[in-house]
């Protein structure tokens, strides 16, 4: 190996090591400090969107929204360790059987992706996302994971976080959301720029009814980690 290649390799290894140190520092720091933003927020701002975001603690968000988001996005949130292995296995089986393509992203994985990584798919991103998710779940309590998620999730073009979403779509604080409004916010999370929770389509109304039933079916023990 030439001296030039050795030098390039050495600097690449240093860059990787520095990146790991930065990520580890941020993961630990965000346990207590609210993230100032995310890559997706920067992308939206660069695209001309005016960002709406007002970070509030979980205590100032209606409990109905926390339960609705768990029921809609990750109903084993309180019991898995950041990655839902059962959901991964089910997704693989469905995809192999030629059924509807489904994902297995947990709320923790979405936090890792939104905070530190780039939008889109790909195995490289998954390879980084998985250990980040495990680290976040190990270092943060579940309440904090959900609190950060509800503070950075997108609910419209440039609308980020539960407080901004509640005010933008329903003209009220997140603490004052009704159960029906909370469910309607939760069900648009897969495609927040396409669907409007204030004007649900027949498809969204059907999904809202399904999530409403699921919340009752899951029962209190599925939300026990929220305190």
**pTM over 0.85, yes/no:** yes
**What mean pLDDT, rounded, does the chain reach?**
89
Question: Based on the domain organization, do 16 and 94 belong to the same domain?
Answer: no
Q: Domain containing 176 — which CATH number?
A: 1.10.3810.10
- Determine the pLDDT at residue 14: 82
Question: Based on the domain organization, do 120 and 152 belong to the same domain?
Answer: yes
Of the candidates 191, 189, 188, 181, which has an alpha carbon nearest to the alpha carbon of residue 212? 181
| Total count of residues recorded for the chain | 227
Q: Is the per-residue pLDDT at 44 higher than 60?
A: yes
Of the candidates 220, 180, 224, 221, which has an alpha carbon nearest to the alpha carbon of residue 204? 180
Question: Based on the domain organization, do 3 and 111 belong to the same domain?
Answer: no
Find the angle CA(92)-CA(210)-CA(161) to the nearest 5 degrees: 80
Give the pairing of strands 159-160 and 52-53: parallel
- Determine the pLDDT at residue 154: 96
Split at pLDDT 50, 70, 90, the class of 7 is confident
Q: Is the per-residue pLDDT at 95 higher than 70?
A: no
Question: Based on the domain organization, do 104 and 2 belong to the same domain?
Answer: no
> What is the average pLDDT across 157-174?
96
Output the six-digit token pair for 213.
Answer: 């039933």
Question: Based on the domain organization, do 153 and 183 belong to the same domain?
Answer: yes
Burial 54-75 (b: 16+ CB within 10 A, else e): bbbebeebbbbbbbbbbbbbbb
Find the angle CA(91)-CA(211)-CA(170) to the nearest 5 degrees: 125
| 3-class secondary structure, 36 | coil
Split at pLDDT 50, 70, 90, the class of 98 is low
- Determine the pLDDT at residue 9: 82
CB 208 within 8 A of CB 184: yes
- Determine the pLDDT at residue 1: 62
Question: Based on the domain organization, do 58 and 154 belong to the same domain?
Answer: yes
Question: Based on the domain organization, do 90 and 139 belong to the same domain?
Answer: yes
> What is the average pLDDT across 24-52?
93
Question: Based on the domain organization, do 110 and 218 belong to the same domain?
Answer: yes
Q: Is the per-residue pLDDT at 96 higher than 80?
A: no
Question: Based on the domain organization, do 57 and 5 belong to the same domain?
Answer: no
Helices (H), the chain: 3-29, 39-46, 63-73, 85-96, 107-116, 123-139, 142-152, 162-170, 179-187, 202-218
| 3-class secondary structure, 160 | strand
> What is the average pLDDT across 115-123?
79
Q: Is the per-residue pLDDT at 3 higher than 80?
A: no
Tell me the percentage of the chain whose pLDDT exceeds 90.
Answer: 67
- Determine the pLDDT at residue 97: 55
For residues 162 and 179, what is the distance between their CA atoms, to the nearest angstrom?
14
> What is the average pLDDT across 20-24?
86
Q: Residue 51: which domain range?
A: 31-226
- Determine the pLDDT at residue 100: 52
Residue partners of 150: CB distance under 8 A and separation at least 6: 58, 61, 65, 66, 69, 161, 162
- Determine the pLDDT at residue 160: 97
Question: Based on the domain organization, do 160 and 171 belong to the same domain?
Answer: yes
Q: Is the per-residue pLDDT at 205 higher than 90?
A: yes
Question: Based on the domain organization, do 21 and 69 belong to the same domain?
Answer: no
Question: Based on the domain organization, do 9 and 84 belong to the same domain?
Answer: no
Specify the number of domains making up the chain.
Answer: 2
């Amino acid at each position: 190996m030439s001296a030039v290649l050795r030098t390039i390799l050495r600097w690449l290894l240093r860059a990787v090591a520095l990146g790991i140190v930065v990520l580890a520092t941020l993961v630990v720091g965000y346990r207590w400090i609210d993230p100032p933003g995310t890559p997706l927020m920067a992308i939206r701002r660069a695209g001309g969107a005016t960002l709406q975001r007002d970070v509030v603690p979980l205590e100032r968000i209606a409990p109905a929204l926390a339960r609705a988001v768990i029921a809609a996005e990750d109903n084993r949130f309180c019991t898995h360790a950041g990655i839902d292995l059962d959901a991964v296995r089910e997704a693989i089986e469905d995809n192999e059987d030629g059924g509807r393509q489904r994902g297995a992203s947990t709320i923790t994985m979405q936090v890792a992706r939104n905070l530190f990584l780039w939008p889109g798919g790909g195995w490289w991103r998954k390879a980084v996302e998985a250990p980040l998710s495990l680290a976040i779940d190990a270092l943060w309590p579940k309440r904090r994971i959900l609190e950060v998620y509800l503070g950075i999730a997108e609910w419209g073009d440039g609308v980020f976080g539960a407080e901004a979403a509640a005010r933008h779509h329903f003209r009220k604080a997140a603490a004052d959301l009704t159960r029906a409004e909370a469910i309607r916010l939760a069900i648009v999370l897969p495609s927040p720029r396409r669907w409007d929770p204030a004007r649900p389509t027949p498809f969204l109304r059907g999904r809202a009814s399904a999530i409403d039933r699921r919340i009752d079916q899951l029962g209190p023990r599925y939300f026990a980690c929220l305190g």
